[in-house]
């Protein structure tokens, strides 16, 4: 099945989908979840529902669960120490995986892979990360410091809105490299467009499937950043 026969052109224009040319290669659907919380929320429902459709078409799906990413992006806003928050994020990741499996009713017939970013940022020097990323402001870098330790303490130097796309893009690259023989399609909400575009810039043979946002009763986007999440199962 090629891309043009699977994707609805009207849906493509309405939701802003990038499509690669028809090819004999198969697809790898990529979805990223941050492990800063231990549950899925209603804002995740549109992504999961679309992933279910891909699974029904026998596409492969790779879920990237951001554990170190969660610490980098969230721990400065928590009351936990860095090491304790890493333990919490690891526990959160296991809970998120269980809820994804439950929501999608995954079975052995589904081609699904769960991977996380544990060891990626902690195994990379901050200099190497800054070669991958690009920031307008000059940054003070300590030689020998890992990217994980540097980024955990970098929010004083790097604005979170600038840092987030680079961290997420690294996760997309991890998932893309997990199966390099397949064309990756990143699935995410409209609020992730900047992050996804950054991911597309560094991943080979990648495209994206963008979904509309879910809004709460307060009129704001439903999500952790707005504090108006409604858990799917709790």
Give pLDDT tens digits for 146-179. 999 988 887 677 888 888 999 999 999 999 988 8
Rg from Cα positions in the chain: 18
Residues 71 and 122: beta-carbon distance below 8 Å: no
Residue 149 lies in a domain: no
Mean of the per-residue pLDDT values of the chain: 81
Residue 137 lies in a domain: no
E strand or H helix at 134: none
What is the pLDDT at residue 234? 67
Residues 92 and 143: beta-carbon distance below 8 Å: no
What is the pLDDT at residue 76? 65
Residue 127 lies in a domain: no
The region of weakest confidence among 4-18, 138-152, 181-195 is 4-18
78 confidence band (pLDDT: 50, 70, 90): low
Mean pLDDT (whole number) for 37-46? 89
Select the more confidently predicted residue: 234 or 96. 96
Q: What is the DSSP code (8-state) at residue 210?
A: E
Number of domains in the chain: 1
68 confidence band (pLDDT: 50, 70, 90): very high
What is the model's pTM? 0.83
By C-alpha distance, which of 138, 169, 158 is closest to 32?
169
pLDDT exceeds cutoff 70 at 220: no
The range of the structural domain enclosing residue 174 comes to 26-118+164-216
Residue 233 lies in a domain: no
50 strand-pairing partners: none
Sheet holding 206-211, edge to edge: 112-116, 60-66, 27-34, 183-189, 206-211
- Say how many residues make up the chain: 234
3-state secondary structure of 59: coil
Residues 195 and 168: beta-carbon distance below 8 Å: yes
Residue 68 lies in a domain: yes
By C-alpha distance, which of 169, 158, 149, 188 is closest to 47?
188
Token pair listed for 36: 């800063």
CATH number at residue 64: 3.40.50.620
Residue 211 lies in a domain: yes
Token pair listed for 226: 């707005």
Q: How far is 176 from 206, CA to CA, in rounded Å?
A: 8
Residue 210 lies in a domain: yes
3-state secondary structure of 208: strand
Name the E strands within 17-125: 27-34, 60-66, 112-116
Token pair listed for 21: 């040319």
31 confidence band (pLDDT: 50, 70, 90): very high
Residue 167: which residues within 8 A CB-CB, separation 6 or more? 66, 69, 72, 73, 121, 151
16 confidence band (pLDDT: 50, 70, 90): very low
Residue 141 lies in a domain: no
Token pair listed for 188: 């995410």
pLDDT exceeds cutoff 60 at 225: no
């Amino acid at each position: 099945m090629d891309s043009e026969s699977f994707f609805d052109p009207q849906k493509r224009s309405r939701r802003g989908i990038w499509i690669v040319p028809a090819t004999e290669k198969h697809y790898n659907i990529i979805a990223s979840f941050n492990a800063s919380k231990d549950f899925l929320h209603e804002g995740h429902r549109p992504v999961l529902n679309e992933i279910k459709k891909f699974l029904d078409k026998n596409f492969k799906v790779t879920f990237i669960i951001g554990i170190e990413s969660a610490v980098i992006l969230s721990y400065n806003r928590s009351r936990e120490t860095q090491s304790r928050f890493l333990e919490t994020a690891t526990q959160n990741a296991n809970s998120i995986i269980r809820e994804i499996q439950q929501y999608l009713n995954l079975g052995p017939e589904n081609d699904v892979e769960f991977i996380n970013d544990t060891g990626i940022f902690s195994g990379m020097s901050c200099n190497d990360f800054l070669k991958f990323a690009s920031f307008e402001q000059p940054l003070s870098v300590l030689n020998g410091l890992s990217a994980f330790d540097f980024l955990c303490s970098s929010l004083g130097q790097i604005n979170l809105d600038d840092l987030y796309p680079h961290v997420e893009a690294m996760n997309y690259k991890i998932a893309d490299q997990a199966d390099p023989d397949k064309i990756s399609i990143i699935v995410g909400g409209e609020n992730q467009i900047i992050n996804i575009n950054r991911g597309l810039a560094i991943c080979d043979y990648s495209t994206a499937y963008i979904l509309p946002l879910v809004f709460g009763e307060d009129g704001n986007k439903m999500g952790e950043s707005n504090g108006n999440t409604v858990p799917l199962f709790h």
